[in-house]
Structure formats: C-alpha cells, structure tokens
Amino acid sequence: MSAGELQQGIDRLAMVSSQRWLFGTLAVVAAGGASAAASAAGASASQFVVLLILGLASAAAFHPDSHAALLVEAMVVWQWLAGTDDATDPWVIAVASSLFVFHTVIALMAVTPSSAVVDRVLLLRWLRRGGYVLVATCSMWLIVVVMVGRQAPGSALLTFLAFVTLAAFTVAIRAVGVTARSSG
Amino acid sequence: MAHLRASVGAVILVAAALIWRRPDLLVIATPMVAVTAWSVITRPGPAPTLDDHLAHPTIREGDATTWHGVISGEPMVDLAVAAVSPVPWVEARPAGGAVTAAALDGTVRLAVDLRSTRWGTRSIEPVEVHAATSWGAFRWRTRTSRHALTTLPLPSVFDVNASARPSDGLVGIHRSARAGEGNEFAGIRPFHAGDRIRRINWVRSARSGELRVNATRADLDTHIALVVDASDDFGVSEGIDGLASSLDGSVRAAGAIAEHYAPRGERVSLRVFGTATAHTVAPGSGRAQLRRVLDTLARVRPGDPGRTGYRTPASRQPGAIGGQITVMLSPLVSPDALDLAVSLGRQGKTVIVVDTLPAHVSQDDDEYTALAWRIRLLERRREVRLVLAAGIPVVEWRGPGSLDHVIRDIARRSTGPRMAQR
C-alpha cells in the first residue's frame, strides 16, 4: 500500500460519522451476543468459532453489502443447532433477537453512506417496526412452548402440509406484492 | 443483499425446522420471515422521480446555498439518502455531504447546505441519490446532473477619502481630469484663441492688463480602469476564512474598487490579462456594471506558467485600458505586468499599481524553495524600483485608504503639465 492510498484510507476513516461507528459496534455486539446466548443455552462454541463470528461481524460492519453477514447468521444458527436439544429454551429468544438486531443494523448501514447520520425520525420508525417483529418472535416462542407441551407425535402428512402451506404463503405474499406494485 | 439474506435465512430455517423437527428454529426464523414478508408486501412499483435544484446558483464568498432534492411518485419508498461529492472550496453540511431523510406520505425531501469559501465558477458534481423501501430490501439509485455554482468574490473592505477633484459632477461624484466646458471653477488663465467671450474674467483682465478667462473642468465622470494580472497565482489560498493567494488578493481588491466606484455613478472597466481567454468588461457604471465586473472576476482562472505560448501577452489583449485612472492589480512577478505598467505610464496614462503578492509566499517547508523565493523577491524589489522610477506609484493593498495617498498625488500632478511619449 502506497503512502497515498494509506492517506486516502485514513481520510475515509476520519469521514466516518460517530453514529456509523456506533452502528458497527452494535452489529458486532449483537453477533457476539447471539453467540453468547447460544453458549448460555449449552451450545458453547470454541474460542476460535467465537473469534471467527466476531471477525466476520466486523467485516460485515465495514462492508455491509457483502456476504459476511449471512455467514455470521449461519454460524450462530449452526452453533445453536449443534449444541442445544431443548426446543423450548428461553435463550432462543435472545438468539433470535440478537440475530435480528444484527441483520437490521447491517441492512441500515448498507443503505446509508459511512459519513451520513441517520435521521431521528427514521431511527424511531425502524425501532417501532423492530418492536413489532420482536413481539412476533416472543409469540412464536410461546406457540412453540405450547405445541411441545402437547407432545404430539410426528406426522409425515402434517410435515408435507406444512411445506405446502409455506410455499403457498410465499406465493401469496408474492402475489400481494405484485398487486401492490401494479396499483401503485 | 439484506432482502436476499432475510429471505434465504427464512426459507432455510423453516425448512430445517420441518425436516429436523426443531421448532426452536422457527423462533429464530420468525424475524427473518417477518422481514421478508414485510419487504415483499412493500415491494416498489415504478421508479420514483427526483426533482433537484440549487436554491441560489450565484452566491458571494462565504455564503451558503442549499441543494434540494424531492423524491416522489412511489409510495413504498421508506427512506432516501443523498451524497454530494466533495468539491474544492465548497463545504457541505452535514459534514461529508451525506444526508438521510424519512419518507412522509410517499415523498422524501432532501437538503444539503453548501458553503462556498472561494470565488470562482465551479460545478457541483452529480449528487448520488439512493432510495430504499422498508428494511432496505429494495433500492433505487440515480445521479443528478451537474449544477453550476458561481461564487462572486467578496470584495475587501475599501474606501477612498481622497478624490482627484471632489465635486458634484453631473454623472459621478469625481471630476474628470480634463479641463473643458463645465461648471466647476478650475482657475484663471490667459485667453486663448477659441475661448468663449462669456468666459472672460473682466475684473482680472482689467487688473492684469491682458485678457484672462475663467477655466472650468469638464463635467465628466471618473473612469477607473481595472487591470488584473492573472498570469500566476502565488501563495496558499485557504478560502475566505484563511490565507489568501495573490490572485485572491487581486480579485477581491478589484471587486472592492469596483464596488466603491460603480454604484456611485463612476465608470469602471475591467481587463484581465495572462489567462488563456480574454476577460474584459467595457466601461460602465451602476449596480449592473458592478455585477458584470464581479461575474467576470469569478470566471478568472490563473494562467499556466508552463503554457505561456497559449497566453495572450498583456499588450495584445483587447479591452478598455488607459482610462482616467488605471489601477493594475498584480503580484508583480510576471514581466508582462511590469512591462504593461511602464508602457502605460510612458504614454502619459495615470497608472497605480497595487501589489497583491502575499507576505506568506516566501514561507515554505522546503528550505530551497524558501531561498529561491527570497532571491526572487530581491530581484522583484529592484524591478519595482524601476517602475517607481518611471513615475508609477506602487502600493500594497491594505484595504481602506490603500489608494488615498497616491490619488492625492495624482490630483496634484494633474494640475501641472506632463510629459508623454506618443
């Protein structure tokens, strides 16, 4: 790296807004928090994996439009899946919430330049939406707890129907989106 | 990328939950499913439209204007971002030139304040505008066209108490240097052939025994011919808030002199030499003339000393010169400027040379450059002495009163005979 490139890099870093640094820190903390929540539920990961998650989260914060964020989410989910057997463990809410915060912050960073300060109205709007999603996540956990408590036997037919429902749901959402687009 | 991440994560997690009978994965998938569904429902339709403009395309140094952008035509737009590329001598607010705004009723209003710190014409580079739907799922981007921003020089504080011949003239407030048919008494002189009978002062004629007439001054306005040397730009320019280069000094001083004289009814003309293209303003007075002079000064670009072959020599450039008072503003480093000043002086024109070389020019981190400058300044001192010896006053620009002393001298000299080479 030449001195000129180094100076350009330093200049670019100097232009980064303090809010951007805050968002980047929040993204890394959220990813680390998700991994820590999985460890608290019994899915403890090796130090190398934790460092890898934090490194990838940092990379995602610097390059929000890269695939690093997807890798972070995949690794945390894999950590949870490999180390936890209890489907009703309340730590799953912490894992889901942390991953959601990570995803949202990275998405917001991807649409704003590094020197920008996100408008307060916009932040409050995203926070309100995030609150709705977190309420939905807690509701889903309650449903899971109730369903697991019933100890219903597995059924291939029900599983097949669930897949069909999922596909139908996706198509329906897609159709609504297309309708909204044509009317708009 | 955010939409892809959410949708891929949602589908894989739900599928894994079903295949491996892990309902806890459904909990982890819930935010992804919700974000995906929300994003698809708010999927945008036709591309929105952007209208943008600069609030004031012409401003003064140190003043600010605002770039406005309005995105409309797509109700699903959630937020928009505008980023103004850095432009030399233009400060953006917010710092960095990037601004975000939330959509209200399908319309996003963006505004970036731009403060120009140095005179000149420059273009605001195309503004990068991004719009996104909820959760940043779908994005739309565009670039605006360039916007021309003209920054007029902010004239230095300037005032002249001295006047060549103060009077209430018919056009300006300063009297013409020429004697002629006017109302202002200039003196008593012997009768010459062609003098009108009514001009004879019979009392003085009776006392002296020969015909004497009352001499008057012509009722003409003062003509200030500004000549700006733009051959080079010496020194550091930090805009209106910092150090000024030689061209900054010349342009601001010329603007100050024009702002002092033109609105008072005096005729002001401008000629810039040493540039690739000639810049001239014909004599005129009033506020419109002042605006013409400032507009022309804003377009001045320093000539490239390495391309002297492309520059028009000072003596060949067209334009008004040699008015009643010619004020040349120059750092006096280029030989063109010195030659022009001396040649005008030898033609009997009234010339004042204003030295605009900044004091900081010889201060350089490189000791050899600083030494070279000191040597050049010694040579320049000798050249300035030669100009002074030719009867041309050279003054340093100090703002108010800079020209008082020399204008008084000129007024005194103009009453006597003068020698000129023709």
Q: Which amino acid, one-letter code, is at A66?
A: S
Quote the mean pLDDT of chain A: 83
B143-162 residues labelled b (16+ CB within 10 A) or e (exposed) = ebeebebbbbbbbbebebee
pLDDT above 70 covers a percentage of chain B that reads 83
Contact between B383 and B355 (Cβ < 8 Å): no
Mean pLDDT score, A21-33? 92
Check pLDDT > 60 for residue A184. no
CB of B108 less than 8 A from some CB of A: no
Residue A96 banded pLDDT, cuts 50, 70, 90 = very high
Q: Chain A residues with CB inside 8 Å of B127's CB? A: none
Check pLDDT > 70 for residue B196. yes
pLDDT at A97: 93
Write B137-141 long-range contacts (CB < 8 A, 24+): B137/A107, B137/B2, B137/B3, B137/B6, B137/B35, B137/B39, B137/B40, B137/B42, B137/B43, B138/B3, B138/B39, B138/B43, B138/B44, B138/B76, B139/A111, B140/B44, B140/B47, B140/B48, B140/B74, B140/B77
Over residues B257-307, the pLDDT tens digits come to 888 888 877 888 998 888 877 788 888 888 888 999 999 998 888 765 544
CB of B135 less than 8 A from some CB of A: yes
Q: Which of B14, B23, B31 sits opposite A144 (nearest CB)?
A: B23
Contact A107 B135 (CB under 8 A): yes
CB of B22 less than 8 A from some CB of A: yes
Contact A144 B14 (CB under 8 A): no
pLDDT at B46: 79
Instruction: Considering only CA atoms, give the Rg of chain B.
Output: 33
- Give the whole-angstrom CA distance, residue A136 versus residue A144: 12
Residue with tokens 């610097």: A62
Which among B95, B320, B324 has a CA at the least distance from the CA of B218?
B324
More confident residue, B335 or B218: B335
pLDDT at B167: 42
Contact between B109 and B138 (Cβ < 8 Å): no
Angle, in degrees to the nearest 10, between helices B23-41 and A91-111 = 30
pLDDT at B308: 45
Q: Which amino acid, one-letter code, is at B206?
A: A
Residue B379 burial class via C-beta count within 10 angstroms: exposed 0-12, middle 13-18, buried 19 and up = exposed
Residue B221 banded pLDDT, cuts 50, 70, 90 = low
Contact between B317 and B278 (Cβ < 8 Å): yes
Q: Which residue of A has its CA nearest to B26?
A: A140
pLDDT at B199: 85
Contact A115 B98 (CB under 8 A): yes
Residue B178 banded pLDDT, cuts 50, 70, 90 = low
Q: Which amino acid, one-letter code, is at A59?
A: A
Q: Which residue of B has its CA nearest to A134?
A: B31
**B305: CB partners within 8 A, 6+ apart:** B231, B232
Closest CA of chain B from A82, distance in Å: 11
Contact B27 A140 (CB under 8 A): yes
**Backbone torsion region of residue B344, taken as left when φ is above 0, otherwise alpha when ψ lies between -120 and 50, otherwise beta:** alpha
Give the CB-side neighbour count of residue B150, counting CA atoms within 13 A.
12
Of A17-21, B17-21, B141-145, the poorest mean pLDDT is in B17-21
The size of the A-B interface in CB pairs under 8 A is 168
Pairing of strands B90-93, B108-116: antiparallel
pTM of the model: 0.72
Which among B166, B198, B197 has a CA at the least distance from the CA of B184?
B166
A92-117 residues labelled b (16+ CB within 10 A) or e (exposed) = bbbbbbbbbbbbbbbbbbbbbbbbbb
pLDDT at B166: 43
Which among B4, B8, B148, B3 has a CA at the least distance from the CA of B65?
B148
Check pLDDT > 90 for residue A100. yes
Contact B32 A103 (CB under 8 A): yes
Check pLDDT > 60 for residue A18. yes
Over residues A107-150, the pLDDT tens digits come to 999 988 888 888 888 899 999 999 999 998 998 888 888 888 87
pLDDT at B306: 47
pLDDT at B159: 65
Contact A99 B28 (CB under 8 A): yes
Residue with tokens 């959509």: B103
Alpha-carbon distances of A120 from A55, A115, B102, B112, rounded to whole Å: 29, 16, 9, 17
- Give the whole-angstrom CA distance, residue B34 versus residue B6: 9
Check pLDDT > 70 for residue A10. yes
Best mutation target, A76, A101, A140, to test chain B (most B CBs within 10 A)? A140
- Give the whole-angstrom CA distance, residue B125 versus residue B103: 25
Which among B103, B102, B131, B109 has a CA at the least distance from the CA of B55?
B109
What is chain A's percent helix, strand, coil content, to nearest 5? 80, 0, 20
Over residues B349-369, the pLDDT tens digits come to 788 888 888 888 778 778 888
Model ipTM? 0.83
Contact between B296 and B321 (Cβ < 8 Å): no
Check pLDDT > 70 for residue A2. yes
Contact B83 A116 (CB under 8 A): yes
Best mutation target, A111, A122, A170, to test chain B (most B CBs within 10 A)? A111
Contact between A118 and A108 (Cβ < 8 Å): yes
pLDDT at A115: 84
Q: Chain A residues with CB inside 8 Å of B80's CB? A: none
Quote the mean pLDDT of chain B: 80
pLDDT at B169: 44
Pairing of strands B394-396, B351-355: parallel
Check pLDDT > 80 for residue B165. no
Over residues B27-62, the pLDDT tens digits come to 888 898 888 888 888 888 778 888 888 889 899 888
Over residues B97-126, the pLDDT tens digits come to 888 888 888 888 999 999 988 888 888 888
CB of B105 less than 8 A from some CB of A: no
User: What is the 8-class DSSP label of residue B116?
Assistant: E
Domain boundaries, chain A: 1-116, 119-184
Check pLDDT > 80 for residue A170. no
DSSP assignment of B151-203 equals EE--PPP------SSB---SSSSB--SSEEEEEEEEEEEE--TT--GGGB-HH
Q: Which of A92, A99, A173 sits opposite B40 (nearest CB)?
A: A173
Q: Chain A residues with CB inside 8 Å of B42's CB? A: 177, 180
DSSP assignment of B21-66 equals T-HHHHHHHHHHHHHHHHHHHT---SPPEEEEEES-SEEETT-EEE
Contact between B103 and B76 (Cβ < 8 Å): no
Contact between B388 and B355 (Cβ < 8 Å): no
Contact between B221 and B169 (Cβ < 8 Å): yes
- Give the whole-angstrom CA distance, residue B13 versus residue B6: 10
Highest mean pLDDT: which of A1-5, A165-169, B180-184, B254-258? B254-258
- Give the whole-angstrom CA distance, residue B196 versus residue B298: 49
Closest CA of chain A from B333, distance in Å: 33
User: What is the 8-class DSSP label of residue B90?
Assistant: E
Q: Which residue of A has its CA nearest to B20?
A: A81
Q: What is the dihedral of CA A172, A177, A180, A183, to 10 degrees?
A: -90
Over residues B295-337, the pLDDT tens digits come to 999 888 876 554 444 444 555 555 555 557 888 888 888 887 8
Contact between A70 and B9 (Cβ < 8 Å): yes
Pairing of strands B147-152, B120-124: antiparallel
